[in-house]
Structure 1
Amino acid sequence: MSSPIAVKTLIVGSGPAGYTAAVYAARAMLEPVLLAGMQPGGQLTITSDVENWPGDSKVEGPALMERMSEHAAAMGAKIEYDVATSLDLSKRPFTAVCDSGAVYHAETVILATGAQARWLGLPSEEKLKGFGVSACATCDGFFFRDKEVAVIGGGNTAVEEALFLTRFAKKVTLIHRRDSLRAEKIMQDRLFKHPNVEVIWDHEAVEILGEPGEQGVTGLKLRQVKTGETRDLAVQGAFVAIGHAPASQLVEGQLETHLGGYVVVKPFSTETSVPGVFAAGDVTDHIYRQAVTSAGMGCMAALEAERFLSAEGE
């Protein structure tokens, strides 16, 4: 294990929250170190077109994250493409141990670990991951050119995935267990108007059919939620888009959480239950979950870290 590296502010996670925190922390002369994590840039790196980022009527998610990363580095933040495997918040300085063996002693920590895709929890789903089962259309859509695929879900993520897949797939079937979608109305309008999209209402996937290997996914077994009747749907790909869960495993049992793992912060603040530890972005936000609100929280976290250290004379 390496000798500990002392830092004023350690930012765990990237994405809009992490990168914005790095910009503001660097400008406050906190010499931040940002651990980019397993997916540098977060969920936006697997998003195709972003149409609600102020100043860009349309920008690709990976390009936006690259710009944010470059901005943070230009301000003086040190970005390490490493993964924090443990985080000890029991005493200051806080200790982070990384996959590379690097160890950081941090006076303040900004948690910006985001969220991860939820899965259905079916044994057949697990068996066929990588063989036609995916949670990322922008990652895997190309492999389904001229095939028929299904998207499972009813929120913004599901509709975005379905619309993206129409670029490649011959037909996209959206499966939703309710009789209406939760997605934004503008997204719903685009979906319903697309000639290659069909929606199956009031159904849930109870099994994914197929075998690992060259054959892969061959279909879905669907159950009508009101009658219990089942039917098979022939598809060659299944995309699960039922939301995300906060990536708060690092701080489980150390910070106060609620609603399935979201980190609790004080009202109008990013302060957590441990002084000197701040949380920003989707790891704490179960309401808005937008890039722009995550960025705003990243700004708040950096400013609050600077004020916390200033109050201690550091």
Structure 2
Amino acid sequence: MKNQMTLFDIGEASNTQSIINVASVPQRSPFRYPGGKTWLVPTVRQWLKQENRTVDELLEPFAGGGIVSLTAAFEKLADKITMVELDEEVAAVWEVILNGSNKWLADKIYTYDLTHANVKAELENPNKELRDIAFCTILKNRVFHGGILAKGSGMIKNGEKGKGITSRWYPKTLRDRILAIGYVKDKIEFLKGDAFHVLEQNLDNGNAYFFIDPPYTIAGKRLYTHYNIDHENLFRLTSLLKGKYMLTYDDTPEIRHLADKYNLQYRTIPMKTTLHYEKNEIIISDNFSWWREIDRR
């Protein structure tokens, strides 16, 4: 029986943590990803360094914006990194950056004339190759409300200081990030596929670290195309992993119940949403010997 924290203990543990200042974390991803984990990077570093050696393999089965995989690659925290993403649009970006034309994408973004008319024409073009899908994904991620790619999202109207769709369009920054990834991409394998299949195939991979960040139960439907996942099956698979893992979730009674059901250890950690609303999230791990207070300024 794994050591399960009580509700009182969880609250007590969370009081030793403070909200991370994301400005203190290197921004590696080309995405402004809803539900992204930049704020969690200092904690992830602790987790990856728990054995005081470079991790043999890191698997991120719900890659999304990929900040954990990119941090591990740039900071040499893992020898091999596997990113997995099912969403066609998000996957196209990673396929182009990691497996193909990252310079083309960087140059296209840098030289693009961002106007409503051009964006409309780009998005409505019916004859898209993979790299065109990748560019349109970055475009939507930067000019749509909250960076949301799911159906129903639309373009920013006013934006910051009335800048409209240019509010989050930083062509030089995006170009530089994409080109920088080119220097570490040999460490990263990208797979367009289903997270559950990858986890099932790696249940006995005792040398791997698994960073598992699925669509959450509450916000997932609003934020993601593939939001409807079997949360209980994910907990079941996680409980069977031979390697080390970190599973992140929203702090809800349903998630606490599943953690208890599958005898998984967890802690709470504070974060601040893009609307500056403070809340707790849950970190589930095979052990917490690595968990300690960190400077989160």
What TM-score results when the alignment is normalised by the length of structure 1?
Answer: 0.29
**Which structure's relative contact order is higher, taking Cα pairs within 8 Å and 6+ residues apart?**
2
* Higher fraction of strand: 1
* Higher fraction of helix: 2
Report which of the two structures shows the higher radius of gyration computed on alpha carbons. 1
